[in-house]
Structures are given as C-alpha cells and as structure tokens.
Structure 1
Amino acid sequence: MGLDQDVREQVSAALGGDVFVDDVRVTPAGKRRVARITVERPVAQTVGDSPVEPLTLDEIADATRIISDTLDASDVMGSQPYTLEVSTPGTDRPLTEPVHFRRAVGRLVLLTLAGGERTGRVLATTADGVDLHIAGTKKQQPHTEHVPFAEITKGVAQVEFTRPQSTSADADGETEA
C-alpha cells in the first residue's frame, strides 16, 4: 500500500462521516513533502435533485485541525517534515463519475458526447444519467433532456458569477436564467 492510501485511511477514519476525503496526494518538495488533501461534503447514495452544499470555511478549518492532529499523532508521514494543504475540489475538476453530477445539481455544465456537445443546467441525476435543462435558442424552445452517463465522454461545470436562484418555469412557461 502506498503513502497516499495510508494517509487516506488514517484521515478518513479520523474525520468519520462528517467530511469525505476525495483525494490525497503526498509529493516531495525539496527537503519537505506536501500533503494535499481534498475534502467534500458526503453525498447520500440515493439519486435525486437536491443540490449538495459545499463545505463552509469553518467546516474546512475544523477538518484541517482534525487531519493535522491525526497526522502528527501517527507515524504515517514519517520523520520528514511536511506541509499540509486541505481544500475542496475546484471548479476545474472534470465531472467523471455519477457522484460528481449529483454534486453539480443546479450548476451549468458542458458535456461532450459522442454526437456533439450539450450545455445545460443539471436538474437531477438518475441511476443511469443526468437530466439537463437546455436553454432555448431562436431555433429551439427550452426543454429538458435526459443524457445517459454512458454517452458522456467529458463533463465540466461552467463558472458562473451570478447563478440563477431558481430554474422553475414562470407563468409564461419560460425558464428563468
């Protein structure tokens, strides 16, 4: 078992079920090492349309203290000094697994499919795919489309500086954007 996996096991056990360890990377940096640990809010194993809220700064700070104390109390990092970096996944993380799409409910995503690209807002996930709200154009009315996970070759959440509060239809049948 490698160092990354050893650190993951130690840290996951210490955090319990409150915070999920997404990734662990321990890399050399001169005479030190850097332990980069990415954490997220756990997602229920069920599918649905409820957005998963990101961790707050206070929750990340609490997780950092627990991780630091755990690594200092164990010998998993050895005697070599290290720097600890704890963060959440950035907006540039690709959407590669169904749980990533579950976390992206309410977000605008760009999907690359075998037959082209789709841009839409994730409404919900199902056992086999994702439901998107596709905005209307001059040639096409706004609509909902189900895209099976098997057809998605790449997915990326889009950065939005002002995300709409709701994607529900208004009285005219148009969707707020």
Structure 2
Amino acid sequence: MSTTLNDRLQVLLEPLASEAGVDLEEVTLTKVGGRRVLDVVLDADGGVDLDTVAELSRAFGVALDGPEGTAVLGDGEYRLEVGSPGTDRLLTLPRHWRRARTRLVKAQLTAGAEVTGRITESDEDGVLLEIAPVKGRGRATERRLAYTEIAKARVQIEFNRKGLDDDADLDTDVDADLDADLGEDDAEEA
C-alpha cells in the first residue's frame, strides 16, 4: 500500500500537534484557482483555542519550509489554513463521539435505518443515544449502538437547544465566551 502526499504531510505535522496536546484530525492539500492550499484540522477535548491555532500555524510553517517539509511538499508556494472541525464533520472515531457528548446526532446505520438522538455517553466500542419521543408523546428511550453498526453520523445544528430556553441563559453564555476571548482586562473595558 502506497502512502499519499496527504499521508506524508500528516506524518510530518502530527508530532507538532501531539506536542501541543491536540489531535491532528486531517491534512488535505488541494489546488484552488491554481494555488495550492494545505488545510490542517485540529481538535482537542474542550476545543482548540486561537492561541494554539496560531502557535501551531507558525510551527507547521517552519516544518513545511524546512528540509523535511520541502522533501514532502516540494518547492513552490502554498497557503496554510489551520482550524478546527466544522459542524459538518463526520463522527468517525470514539474521541469524536466523546467530544460531542450532549449533542444531537443523526446516524445512518449499516442496516439502512436512520436514528436521531442525543449522545449521553460513549466509550471505545459504542455510544448511548437518548431518542426523543415522536411528537413529544411518551417517554424518551435509550439506544446503545456499536460503532460497527453506524455507517455515517453527524452532529445536528440546534437553534433552540433544550436547556437554553430563555434569553438570560443565552446572554450569560455569550458574556462568558466574550470574557474568555478578550481576557479579563479587555472584557471589563467592553
């Protein structure tokens, strides 16, 4: 089995991500409008903060522009884009399921059926979903699925997520995010 260019780039960059305490989820080199674009997707428990993205962007750039990087990527310009997974990412590994705990997911099963439920727990073998009753009637049920039973699964976007029923809860979450993004001194001035 031969390794692809993306595989070789992943091997080059993985130790840097690992050293920073994050997972290198995906490395993809594509051509966009005649330019090469290298997309690197990072993730971690609790998410990846912007400082980590910036630090790793610099470290990846140094590695890619060095002798080992040039041997893999070749000479020539490229644009490096480093970020975290989007909302449309497939849940393919146990850590993806763990990180999506409490989120609503839609899973297509290998048997052909489809299941939508909220992740209540997961482990290395499978996931436990809470399935809401149809049209609000009856009680929620739980269903355990082995990962081998799941063909494809994605987190569903929720605009009115249970537990965020009033604006006060939303305002508190936004304020907390703002404080975290700005830092305490900047948040006090805002």
**TM bin (shorter chain):** 0.7 to 0.9
List gaps (5 residues or longer) in structure 2: 165-190
Rounded to whole Å, the distance in 2 between the matches of 1:130 and 1:102 is: 9
Question: Residue 121 of structure 1 corresponds to which residue in structure 2?
Answer: 118
Q: Trace 1:28-177 onto structure 2 (pairs within 5 A).
A: 28-29=31-32, 32-41=35-44, 52-74=45-67, 75=70, 76-113=72-109, 114=111, 116-137=113-134, 138-164=136-162
CA distance in 2, matches of 1:156, 1:54: 17
Residue 20 in 1 paired to residue 23 in 2? Answer: yes
Secondary structure of the corresponding residue to residue 60 of structure 1: helix
Q: Is the 8 A contact 1:32 1:80 kept in 2?
A: no
Is the Cα contact below 8 Å between 2:16 and 2:59 reproduced in 1? yes
Report the Cα distance in structure 1 between the residues aligned to 2:7 and 2:151, rounded to whole angstroms: 28
* Gap runs ≥5 in structure 1: 42-51, 167-177
The question of whether the paired residues in 2 share the 8 Å contact of 1:129 and 1:149 is answered with yes
Q: 1:77 to 1:130 in 2, by over 3 A?
A: same
* Identical pairs, percent: 35
Structure number with greater CO (CA < 8 Å, separation at least 6) is 1
Tell whether the 8 Å contact from 2:130 to 2:143 is kept in structure 1 after alignment. Answer: yes
> Residues 162 and 57 of structure 1: is their aligned pair in 2 closer, same or farther, counting only changes over 3 Å?
farther
* Residue correspondences, number: 156
Structure in which a larger fraction of residues adopt helix: 2
CA deviation after TM superposition for structure 1 residue 65, in Å: 1.6
Give the 3 Å change call, closer, same or farther, for CA 87–150 of structure 1 in structure 2. Answer: same
Name the CA shift for 1:65/1:149 in 2 (closer, same or farther; >3 Å): same
Structure 1 length-normalised TM: 0.75
How many angstroms apart in 2 are the aligned matches of 1:164 and 1:58? 31
Residues 149 and 140 of structure 1: CA distance in aligned 2, closer, same or farther (over 3 Å): farther
Q: What is the alpha-carbon distance in structure 1 between the residues aligned to residue 18 and residue 113 of structure 2?
A: 41
